[in-house]
Structures are given as structure tokens and as C-alpha cells.
Structure 1
Amino acid sequence: GLCIAIPGPTLLDLQEQTNTDTEQISRLFTGRSVGYLFGSLMGGFLFDRVNQTCLLSLSLLLTAIGTAAAPWCTNFLFLVGILAFQGISMGFLDTGGNVLCLYIWGRGSGPYMQAMHFVFGLGAFVAPLLAEPFLSRTNSTNITDSTLDMIRFKFKQVARTVTSVFSSFTKVQFAYLVIAAFVLMVSLMFMLHCCCCGRCSCVAVKYHDSGVNYKIKKESPGFRVQILILLFVFYFFYVGMEVTYGGLVMSFAVNYLGWSKSSGTLVNSVFWGSFAAGRLLAIPLSKCLTPAVMIVADLVLTIFALAGLVIMLNTNHIMLWFCTATLGIGLASIFPTGITWAERYMQVTGKSTAVFVVGSALGEMLLPLVTGFLFQNKGPMWLMYLMMGCAFLSMIVYIIMQNLAS
């Protein structure tokens, strides 16, 4: 969550550092997604064959290296390459984490899957707050941010202390280094667990059925292929929405509404904070609601929020706060709920997980690229128009998918 979200609030600083415009800098997400695509494909193959814990430790180590190196790049192409490298390791993480959760808890993994993805949302919420004290103050307006001052008080204290000691650290480099250090610590914890349990070997953990009884549709090869294709398309639109909005909403607030970087960062935090809250709420809800009901509710809430942004934002800028929070809640639990939905109709293995994770990677790769082009050349409101279109298409794909499964 920290690694996915940190480019969003620091995007304008990276843009200044590499001397690029919005269309060009949005290609960072595309570069990372290319790596994520390859990482997902390799992860889907390897996580069915070798020890998942050791692979997760290695992928976390590579993620830490990529995160630490990224903010020091002043050459745009080199920065894209570093994020592509980071994307490979994050593709491993995404595929491996979901597969390991299913292998441990089987078809009773719903609440655990929601909890795992909640922690992702929590990291994404913290990332803008961590970055804010280190952002440059150029091109900022004189808007007062008293609410933000209260939220970021402790982060500013840490920032002042550290920058007084390490005067060579400027702008956002330190925020990236803090995240890299945390990821490295988690990597070492996985490796320690792997070694202490005597499981650092090339043996995969076998699929575990928790004993929870569901009415599983009898699989046929044709049915499985159709469901996987639809999940591929569904996650293409969903993850594309999540990453594009989370990555560009700060730029939208600054460039279109004329807000300060601090206000834009707070909007970004509102999105990821409501995203985390939605995933936390989904943990108990997943015990009493079916995945189908949760997905429909999420998509309706998402469409409602984006409709508010498209229709009312030009006349009432406060709608950006309300609709961003609503959108975060609506998008929050779709990814893990989609996996548990699929688990009710077929066995989800590393390879099948890789299929819809690859769809996610392509959405993360292409939608920010298209949105960045339209944002720069047609106007920032195209961010909202495209998100609205993706939400409607996601709903259509899900209806087809549910009818097929039923």
C-alpha cells in the first residue's frame, strides 16, 4: 500500500525533478505496470511450484531496493526503469499474497482476504501523510490548511529533526527511504520465519480447504476460461480506476481547482483513508454478506460517487471531498471480494490468480496513460469522465459474469 500510493502525492515533485509535464509523468504508472505485468505472470507460475514464504521475502527485498532508488532519479527514462523494476517485485507480491491466503484458509478465506487488503489500504492512507512534510512548496497558493496542520503535526516534527541532521536529503527522498526501510524489515521477518520453520526449500504449500461448505458450480474447462476472461476484464477496469484516481487526484486539485499541494495531499489521503476504512468495514461484512451482494453494493456506491463528481464538481468544489471519500469506500473491497467470489465457483490457483492480476496490471498500465494524455491535452475533467465510464463498464462485466456463474 505504501509503495503503490507514494507516487501519487509526490508526483508533482517528481515532475519538477525530471522536468516533465502531466502527460509524461503519468507514464510512470505505465512503466511500473509493465513490470507488474511480468511479475504477475512469473509469480503465477512460481508460486504453484516453490516455497511461497521465501518468494515473498525475495520480492519484498527487491521492492525495497526499487523504492529507495526511485526518488534520486533526475532522468525521466531512468526513473521509469526503476519503477518498472519495482513493479516486477510488486507483481510477485500481489499474486503471492493472494495465493498464500487461499492456500492457508481455503474457501473460508473471505475475512482474512479482506483483512490482508485492509492493510494495503492502511499503507496507502499513510503514504500521503508521510510524504507531505517533504514536498516542495513551489506553485502553491496561500490557502490555509488548519485541518491538515493537525493531521501532519507529528510527521513535520520528524521531518524537521531528520532534515537538520541529514542536510543532503531534500524534498521527497526521505519519505521513500522510510518506506523502503519498512519494506526491508518485513522482508527480513518473512525470511526469518522461513528459516526458523525449516521451510526455506523449493516446496510449495498445498491448497487447503477449510471445510467451509459452499455450493460450488461444477467446473468445466469452458466455464473456467469464460470466468477467467471476464475477471481479467473486470479487474482491468477496477484497478485502472483505483490507481488512476489515486495517482492523479492531487494533480487534479492543484491544476484544475487551484488548490495548494497541501490541500491536494489531504484529498489524496481522504481517498486512501476512506479506502482503508472501507476494507476494515468489509472484514465483518464478509462474514454475513455474500460476495455477490458486496460487489453490487460497491459498484453502486462507486457509480454514485463518480456521478456526483461529473455533475456537480464544477459548481461546488466541496463535492471533491465528499465524493472522493465515497469513492474510496466504494472501491475498497472489490478486489478481495472478487477473489472470494471466484473461489465459490472454481479453485483459484497461482495460475488463475495471475490471469486477473495481469488484467489488473494492464489496467494500471493503460488507463493512467490514456487519462494523462487527455488530462494534459483536453482538460483535467477528463479524469472524472473516464473514471465514470470505467465504473459503468465494470458493472456491465460483473452482471455478465454473475449470470454466467448462476
Structure 2
Amino acid sequence: MASQRYLIIKTLFLISIAICKGMYSEIPGATMIDLKILFNAKYEQISRSVSARGIGSIIGGFIGGFFMDRFRDWSDLLLAVFLTLGGFVLLFLPFVHDLGFLWFVFFATGISSGVANIAINVGVLLMWEEKAAPPLHAIHMGFGVGAILAPLVANPFLAVPADDQMNGSSAGNTSFGNTTKHYLKESAVQYPFVIIAFLIIGSGIPFFVYQCLHIKERKAYSPINSEERRKPSLKEMINPATYADGSLFYGCVMFCLLFVYYFMTVGGEQMFGNFVRSFAVDNLHFSRNHASYLDTAFWACFTVGRFIGIVSSKFFSLRFLLITEVALNFISVTAMDISATKGPSYLWGFTIAQGLIAAPLYPIGMSFGNTLVKISGVCLTLIEVAGSLGDFTFIWLAGKYYDSYGPQAILYGYQASSILVLIVGICFLIVSCLRKDRFSRTEFSPCELPVSSEVNEIETSDSNKRK
């Protein structure tokens, strides 16, 4: 009972980190217009700085994947240190005076986010083992909860233009140069970032304690009972065949499909989530408060969609869920691309629908992929790198083309993402039909290295007895 209580409490702390990560990931979307005001910049310049978190997440993903496979006993310390460093860097945002330093802030906190993402997922898999599905879904729901809270935290500190209270017709048209724009309330956009920074630092503190408890627990074991697993070599870790029943070709194909799937899924989701508020203000002339509510509604429905994914996975097969979700995503985005600009009610309807539909794409890809290849720390690193590159690429290009071609560019980018996600989903199904899932291909579940060593020792001992 005590052990179960320990796992539950630690999982709750991991969920709190996921909530903070969701707030950090989505706060740029809620504050994009005010960041333009603060830095007197264009969307492309701000989005280029925000996209730096994608580059940082790639580096963080490599750091997290390597350390979680090679130094797993120090995972709590790794998580706590990087959360603390990321939080302290985010505290510097109120003192940033140029876009270059803003780029560095998002880059550094992106590294922290990448490490945290790997450590959280691997930590849950290690703690709960075959019972890891519900905690993993709860972790992903925590991200959605943080995304809901981000606009609510930011909204009291955002600027209110004088004409926004009248009709909102020019609320999104931030002026530059010598043009003067009047505000009923000046922007204090720095403070939401400071609040989130303190929450991130606080969420890492319990894991310093957990690391100390882990060290104390290890010292209590005798050397005979605490034999460490053989650590895999770097060559074994990076070889796709290691995770694909020894087939290099099959492993490479699956790694490529996973990369494209998460590149497009995360990229499209983050682009829409970060720009939907700006799109509503600039294209359909929402007031800024109204646009913030729209942003919150998207992430609220996103969280509900994650919960629906938990329930539906109990009653439907992974194949059915995968093809249904990628197809619905394509249909929803296509309909939104055609009709979202017709009026506020259309945008509201499609935003709510897209939040519900896009939410399960991330966990269903991981669950289905795990039936085809063995998902480990390195595979999670691949997923993290793909998602981070998608985040970086889509947000940067969205800002660039937003300024050049207008808000409609966001919908075109999301449309391209949904098409490729649908194609990769179909490829997943074809592969699964050609090869049975990995649990059906083998008589026994995959064994860890130390188990194999113990089996060899037992066989040798029996042989000696017979002699």
C-alpha cells in the first residue's frame, strides 16, 4: 500500500510539471500581440524568437534520451536541475531589451522543456510498467490543463486599445514607427512569464527530495541484491534494428514514419494554438478578451479530447482509433479552411471541433507505434526531436507568411499538416497489416538485459548440478 501511495504521489508531481509545461508552451500564443507591442516588432520577428524553443527542445530531447538510458538512477536530479534552470532563465524576460535575447530565453527554456518531456514519459513507463497507460494519458491531459490556464493567467496583463472597447475593428493592427496608438490599459505582458517561471521552479523542488530518497534506498540494499543492469552501448542505442526485432530496414522505415507523423502533428497543433487568437483579432475583428476566450476554449476542448481518448481506447482497437482520428482531423481542418473566415460563429465552431479532434493524435501515435517497434528512451527522443522541429518550423513559417499573405496563411499551413498526417496514418495501417504487432510476433514479451543474464546464470548452475 505504501509503495502504491508513493507511485501515486510522484505521478501527481509529474502531472504538475506537465501542467507547467503546457502553460509555458501556450503562453506565447496568448501574448503574441502584446509581445509585438513590447518589442515594436512584426509577427515574423516574434515568431522567430518563439520558435527557438523548438531548437532548444531538440537539444533537450537528446540530453534527456541519453541520460535516461545511461544514468537512469539520476533521472530525478536531472529533471529537477533542468526545471530549475529553465525557470530562472524565464525570469529574465522582464529585463529583455532586444529580440536576440528574447530568442535566447525561449531557446534555453526549450532545452528544459525537452529534458522534462523525456524524463516524465520514461519515468511513468518505469514506475507503472504494464499499468502505465492511464498515468500516461493523465500526463498528456496535464499539458492540456496548462494550455487552458495560460490565456487565463495572461489576460489580466494584456493591453486594451482604446478602440477595442468600441468595436474591435483595429485591435490587432499594432502600429509601428511614428504612429501613435492609444490604450485604455498598457501591456504588462512580462508578468505572466514571471508567474509561470516561479511555478516551473516550484514543480522541480520535490524531485531533489526524490533523488535523495532514491540514493538512500539504494544504499540500504546489499550488493548482491542491487546488481545493476548492463548499460547498452551507444551503438546499440542509436541502431533502429534494436527496437525492430533486429531488422534494420524495418526499423528505419518506422523511425521515418514516426518522425514525419510527430513533425506534422505537433507543428500543426502548435501553429494553430499559438496563432488562433491573433487570427481571430486580425481577420474577424474579435475584441482581445473575446479572442482570449476562444484561445481558452480551444485548449479546454483539447483537454476534453484527451480524456475522450482515454475512454475510447478501452472500447475500440488501436487501428480503428488511428484511422478514425487522422481522417477526422483532415476533414475538420479542410472544412475550417473553407468556412472559418465566414464569421465568428464559424470560427468558434471549428475551433472547438479541432480541439476535440486534434487532442488524441499525439498519444494514439505513441500507443500504435509501440505495437510496431519498442518505444524506449531513444524512440522518445526521436519523437521529441520531430515534435520540436515541427514546433520550430511551423511557428517560424507561420509568422513569416502571416505578415506576407495575411492570417489565412495559418489555415493553409494547418491544411498541409493534416494531409501528411493522414498519409502517414494510412502507412501505419499498411505496415500493421503486413506485419503483426510486436507482441504477437514473439512468444514472450521483450526481456531486459539483466533478466537474460539471470537466465544464463540459472542454466549454467543447473548444468553444473547435473555434472
Q: TM-score range by the shorter chain?
A: 0.7 to 0.9
Task: Please give the secondary structure, in 2, of the residue aligned with 1:348.
Answer: coil
Change in Cα spacing, 1:116 to 1:22, as seen in structure 2 (3 Å) is same
5+ residue gaps, structure 2, are: 1-21, 169-185, 219-225, 231-242, 434-467
Letter in 2 for 1:44: G
Q: Residue 47 of structure 2: which of 4, 21, 26 is its match? A: 26
Q: Which position in structure 2 is the counterpart of 1:361?
A: 388
What is the deviation of 1:310? 1.4
What is the deviation of 1:195? 1.5
Q: Which position in structure 1 is the counterpart of 2:337?
A: 310
Q: Residue 165 of structure 2: which of 142, 160, 181 is its match? A: 142
- Give, in whole Å, the separation in 1 of the partners of 2:306 and 2:64: 25
Give per-residue Cα distances to partners, 1:281-338, cap 9 Å, x unaligned: 2222223333333232322332232222211123232111111111111111221221
What is the deviation of 1:26? 1.1
Q: Which position in structure 2 is the counterpart of 1:266?
A: 293
Q: Establish whether residue 231 from structure 1 lines up as the match of residue 277 from structure 2.
A: no
Change in Cα spacing, 1:326 to 1:404, as seen in structure 2 (3 Å) is same
Change in Cα spacing, 1:402 to 1:192, as seen in structure 2 (3 Å) is same
Q: Residue 56 of structure 1: which of 79, 82, 93 is its match? A: 79
Q: Residue 383 of structure 1: which of 410, 413, 424 is its match? A: 410
Give per-residue Cα distances to partners, 1:217-271, cap 9 Å, x unaligned: 8552321221111100110000001111111111111111112211111111111
Letter in 2 for 1:114: H
Q: Which position in structure 2 is the counterpart of 1:248?
A: 275
Q: Which position in structure 1 is the counterpart of 2:18?
A: none
Q: Which position in structure 2 is the counterpart of 1:296?
A: 323
Q: Establish whether residue 83 from structure 1 lines up as the match of residue 110 from structure 2.
A: no
Alignment of 1:175-194 (within 5 A): 175-194=192-211
TM-score by length of 2: 0.75
Change in Cα spacing, 1:67 to 1:52, as seen in structure 2 (3 Å) is same
Task: Please give the secondary structure, in 1, of the residue aligned with 2:375.
Answer: coil
Change in Cα spacing, 1:170 to 1:370, as seen in structure 2 (3 Å) is closer
- Give, in whole Å, the separation in 2 of the partners of 1:140 and 1:109: 52
What is the deviation of 1:199? 6.3
- Give, in whole Å, the separation in 2 of the partners of 1:363 and 1:244: 9
Give per-residue Cα distances to partners, 1:120-150, cap 9 Å, x unaligned: 11011111011101101137523689xxxxx
Q: Which position in structure 2 is the counterpart of 1:46?
A: 67
Q: Which position in structure 1 is the counterpart of 2:371?
A: 344
Letter in 2 for 1:188: I
Change in Cα spacing, 1:143 to 1:393, as seen in structure 2 (3 Å) is farther
Change in Cα spacing, 1:107 to 1:348, as seen in structure 2 (3 Å) is farther
Q: Which position in structure 1 is the counterpart of 2:137?
A: 114
Contact 1:68–1:177 (Cα < 8 Å) also in 2: yes
Return 89-98 or 301-310, whichever deviates more. 301-310
What is the deviation of 1:107? 4.7
Contact 1:143–1:260 (Cα < 8 Å) also in 2: no
What is the deviation of 1:71? 4.2
Higher relative contact order (CA 8 A, sep 6+): 1
Task: Please give the secondary structure, in 2, of the residue aligned with 1:141.
Answer: helix
RMSD: 2.5
Change in Cα spacing, 1:371 to 1:193, as seen in structure 2 (3 Å) is same
Q: Residue 276 of structure 1: which of 300, 303, 315 is its match? A: 303
Contact 1:301–1:326 (Cα < 8 Å) also in 2: no
Q: Establish whether residue 405 from structure 1 lines up as the match of residue 405 from structure 2.
A: no
Change in Cα spacing, 1:49 to 1:218, as seen in structure 2 (3 Å) is closer
What is the deviation of 1:108? 4.1
Contact 1:291–1:338 (Cα < 8 Å) also in 2: no
Change in Cα spacing, 1:144 to 1:109, as seen in structure 2 (3 Å) is farther
Q: Establish whether residue 128 from structure 1 lines up as the match of residue 151 from structure 2.
A: yes
5+ residue gaps, structure 1, are: 146-168, 208-215
Contact 2:93–2:194 (Cα < 8 Å) also in 1: no
- Give, in whole Å, the separation in 2 of the partners of 1:52 and 1:405: 34
Structure with larger Rg: 2
- Give, in whole Å, the separation in 2 of the partners of 1:321 and 1:292: 30
TM-score by length of 1: 0.86
Return 278-287 or 216-225, whichever deviates more. 216-225
Contact 1:219–1:345 (Cα < 8 Å) also in 2: no
- Give, in whole Å, the separation in 2 of the partners of 1:307 and 1:199: 56
Letter in 1 for 2:48: R
- Give, in whole Å, the separation in 2 of the partners of 1:41 and 1:318: 43
Letter in 1 for 2:155: E
Letter in 2 for 1:300: A
- Give, in whole Å, the separation in 2 of the partners of 1:399 and 1:89: 34
Contact 1:60–1:183 (Cα < 8 Å) also in 2: yes
What is the deviation of 1:119? 0.5
Task: Please give the secondary structure, in 2, of the residue aligned with 1:171.
Answer: coil
- Percent identical residues: 28
Contact 1:250–1:264 (Cα < 8 Å) also in 2: yes
What is the deviation of 1:170? 6.4
Letter in 1 for 2:212: C
Q: Establish whether residue 93 from structure 1 lines up as the match of residue 116 from structure 2.
A: yes
